[in-house]
Every structure is written in C-alpha cells, then in structure tokens.
Amino acid sequence: MPGTEDAGLPEAPGAVPLSLCVNGKPWVLQIDPRTSLLDALREHLHLTGTKKGCDHGQCGACTVLVNGRRINSCLSLAVMHEGDEISTIEGLGSPEALHPMQQAFIDHDGFQCGYCTPGQILSALAVIEEIKAGIPSHVTADLNAPPPLSASEIRERMSGNLCRCAAYPNIIAAIQDVSGIPS
C-alpha cells in the first residue's frame, strides 16, 4: 500500500502480521499476539498520547475510537483489529490548532496532572455522538424517546473515565460547553 509505514521492529518469535490504520495513516507490523491494542500504539507505533492507567478496563485512560466507537484499548488484542481504523488523541488536533474539545478542557481547567485527559477527551467526543445516535443510558428516563443531551446524561456516560485528580466538575463543564448545554 503506498504510504504504508512499517513499524520496523525486529521480528519476535511467534509474531504475526497486522495492518492497522491509525489517525488515517496505514501501518503494517509484526506483532506478538499477546500485545494489547494499547501496547501496540504506545510501544510499537510510539503514539504515547494514549495512556495506561490500570491495564484492566477499570479507568478509561486508554480509551481510543475503533471504527468510530470508543473502547478500552488495554482489554483488546492488537491482532483482533486487522484492518480497523483507530483514532487516538494524536489525530485530533495539533498544539497550533487544537480540537474544540481540547480547547474546552483548557478553558475549563478540565485537568490537573493530565494523565487521564486523552482518554477523557476521546470518550467525551464519543459520548456526544452516542447521545445524538439515540443510544440510551442508565439515567435515560424514557427508553422509547431520544435521550436528551444533558449534564446528567454526560456524567453517567463518562463514568468509565476516572480522574485521580478529581477534575470531574470541570471535565463536565468542558463537555457541556462543546455540546452547547448552558452550565
């Protein structure tokens, strides 16, 4: 494939071939089947924006979008993602041209140490899309009506992203801002 980059690591015994598209860029790599999608991104493709908190699906720091849907990349094997489109924080904006969600996290002081932030931002973008797509949540009162784009819906849907610095109120304010909900 033209423009495809080889991650160029020495071939480990038992490694299998894998092609992935990350932030629009195709990659081919040879990978030990044990490698999580998170480790493939961080250790093989050197995209260290996606963070490892718990490595057990409990904290959300490793949230990425796979074919547009958010998942915990620590609880998925890279080899299960042959041909998938992955979006990480590196694909969203640049320091010169931040994505509106990145800007909103800065404007609202939505972080302290920043470790959870890439996962929070990817999750937040997916939450807005999930609400628009009519996917209900635990706090949706009427299952047969479209869920409202509200602060309580956002709060419930963000519960899989922990923040050890407890920046929660400001994270919610940032997401509300981008969603156009008055705070």
CA distance 133 to 146: 8
Among 15, 21, 25, 57, binds ligand FAD (CB under 6 A): 57
The listed partner (ligand FAD, other proteins, ligand FES, none) that binds 112, CB under 5 to 8 Å by sort, is ligand FES
Contact residues: ligand FES, CB under 6 A: 52-55, 57-62, 72, 74, 111-117, 163-165, 167
69 binds other proteins per the rule CB under 8 A: yes
14 binds other proteins per the rule CB under 8 A: yes
The listed partner (other proteins, ligand FES, ligand FAD, none) that binds 61, CB under 5 to 8 Å by sort, is ligand FES
CA distance 147 to 159: 17
Which residue is it, tokens 């493709």?
A: 45
Angle between helices 117-132 and 100-107 (to 10 degrees): 120
123 binds other proteins per the rule CB under 8 A: yes
For residue 37, which of 90, 73, 80 has the smallest C-alpha distance?
A: 73
DSSP state of 80: G
From 73-81, 90-98, 102-110, 167-175, give the range in contact with other proteins by CB under 8 A.
Answer: 73-81
DSSP state of 113: S
Note the residues at the interface with ligand FAD (CB under 6 A).
Answer: 57-58
